[in-house]
Amino acid sequence: MKIFRTKPEIAEIKDSQEIKKTIQSFENMLEEIRHIISHRGIMLKNADKKLQEFRDTMYAMLIEEDYSGKKNQRVRKNDDDDENKLF
């Protein structure tokens, strides 16, 4: 077992430790990026659900408006027929 190391061996050990630290920092950064992407994916899904709810509401309102418009036209037409019968 060597007690004393040469300068190249010490430099190699330091380089090895720096590489390990760099790799660890990259892994930490990658984990943060995954977390951000996951969070944004959830936000996108929620936004898509809200958009679909909005569309459904708008379609329902348009259908209701169209239905009530047709219903009013029928009522007016029936009222006109009734008035013509009276005279």
**What are 18-68's pLDDT values in tens digits?**
899 999 999 999 999 999 999 999 999 999 999 999 999 999 999 888 888
| For residue 71, pLDDT beyond 80 | no
* Tokens representing residue 16 in the block: 């090895």
CA distance 22 to 3: 28
pLDDT of residue 9: 73
Does the pTM of the predicted model rise above 0.85? no
Cβ atoms of 5 and 13 within 8 Å: the answer is yes
